[in-house]
Amino acid sequence: MKKIKTTPLAPQEFEVEQISENEANIMAYPFETGFAISLAHPLRRFLLSSSVGYAPIAIKIEGAKHEFDSVRGMLEDISDFILNLKEIRFKLLGGITETEINYSFAGPCDIKGSDLTNSEVEVVTPSAHLATLNEDSTLNFSIKIAQGIGYVASENTYDELLEGYIALDAYFTPVRSATYKIENVLVEDNPNFERVIINIRTDGQISPLDAFRNSLEVMYAQLAVFNSEISVKAPATIERAEESPDLKKLTGHIDSLGLSARSFNCLDRSNIKLIGEIALMSTNDLKNVKNLGKKSYDEIVEKLQEFGYEVGGDLADDVVSALKKKIEAL
C-alpha cells in the first residue's frame, strides 16, 4: 500500500562548501519533488537584488567641471576615469554608511585600487586600475561613498549636490553571480527527493555566507506580513509555540550565530548542527573539536555569549532533557 502523507518532508541537512574566499556552495536537502526550485528561485532573486554593498555615488575632481572634461597630465579623460572608478569595489569600515574621502596623487604614477585604501575605507579590488599620471602632474579628487542595495541612477543618488561634484550611477550589489542546480537524492527507498545547491560568488565586500544570510532575512521580512494577517499555523509551528524561549533559541541552527566560515565549517564537519549542542559541551569538548583552533574557539565562545549562553553553562533540567531529545531526533 502506498504511504499517504499529510505534510511534506522538511529538509534537515544543511552544508556549506567554501570554494574560495569569495565563492561558496550552499546545500540543503532532502526536499519533496518541486519544493527545491520553489525556494531556490526566490532566494537567487533576493541574493542579486537585496544584498547590501558599497559604491561611489559622487566625485569631485580638481580642474574638471563635468564628466567629458580632462585633467592635464592624466592619460585618461574624466569619462574613462569614472568608468575605472566604478570597477573599484569599496568597503566602508567602522559601521559607517556614508563618507567623503579626499585623495591627492603626484606623477609619474599608476594609481590602483590599493592606493585608495585608508583608515575609513577598504578596497577589495586592489589591483584594479584607476588612472595613469605623467611626470609633473597632480591629481586631487574627493569621492562620496555610500551603502545601499541594487542599482541607483545618478539622478537619484542626491537631491542636491555641492558645487563641483559629479553624480554617479551607483551599483551597490556585492553578489557577482548566484546560480542553483537541483539534484535527486535518495531517502530510504525513494530516489525522487531533491537537493538544492546554490552557488554564490561575491566581489569581496561581503562573504557568500553573509550574503545568503541577508537574503534569508529579507525573504522572512517579506513573508512576515502574512503572519500578521493570517492566523493559520502549521503543526510544527503549533508545537514550537509550546516550547520555552530557551528551547526555541537553543534548537536554532548554528548558522544563526553569525560565525566566520572557518568556525562554522569546523562545527559542521563535526556534525554539530544546533546552538544547544555547543551549550551542552564542556570547554574541553569544544576545544577538542577537530581542526578547531584557538581563534575559532574564542569566536564561538563569544558568539554564544552574545546569544545569551555559556559553553558548559547551567541550563534548566527540563530544557536539557527536551534539547537532548531534539538532538537525538536529528
What is the tens place of the pLDDT at every residue in 97-151?
899 999 999 989 999 999 999 988 999 999 999 999 998 899 999 999 999 999 9
What is the tens place of the pLDDT at every residue in 45-93?
999 999 999 999 999 999 888 888 888 999 999 999 999 999 999 999 8
CATH 3.30.1360.10 maps onto the chain at 1-46+173-229
Which CATH number is associated with domain 52-171? 2.170.120.12
Confidence of residue 325 (pLDDT cuts 50, 70, 90): confident
CATH 2.170.120.12 maps onto the chain at 52-171
Query: Is the domain defined by 1-46+173-229 classed in CATH 3.30.1360.10?
Result: yes
Q: What is the pTM of this model?
A: 0.65
Fold category of 233-330 in CATH: DNA polymerase; domain 1 (1.10.150)
CATH 1.10.150.20 maps onto the chain at 233-330
What is the tens place of the pLDDT at every residue in 170-228?
999 999 999 999 999 888 788 889 999 999 999 999 999 999 998 988 888 888 777 65
What is the tens place of the pLDDT at every residue in 230-252?
554 444 433 343 456 677 778 88
> What's the confidence (pLDDT) of residue 54?
94
3-state secondary structure the chain: CCCCCCCCCCCCEEEEEEEECCEEEEEEEEECCCHHHHHHHHHHHHHHHHCEEEEEEEEEECCCCCCCCCCCCECCCHHHHHHHHHHCCEEECCCCCEEEEEEEEECCEEEEHHHHCCCCEEECCCCCEEEEECCCCEEEEEEEEEEEECEECHHHHCCCCCCCCEECCEECCCEEEEEEEEEEEEECCEEEEEEEEEEEEECCCCCHHHHHHHHHHHHHHHHHHHHHHCCCCCHHHHHHHCCCHHHHHHCCEHHHHCCCHHHHHHHHHCCCCEHHHHHHCCHHHHHCCCCCCHHHHHHHHHHHHHCCCCCCCCCCHHHHHHHHHHHHHC
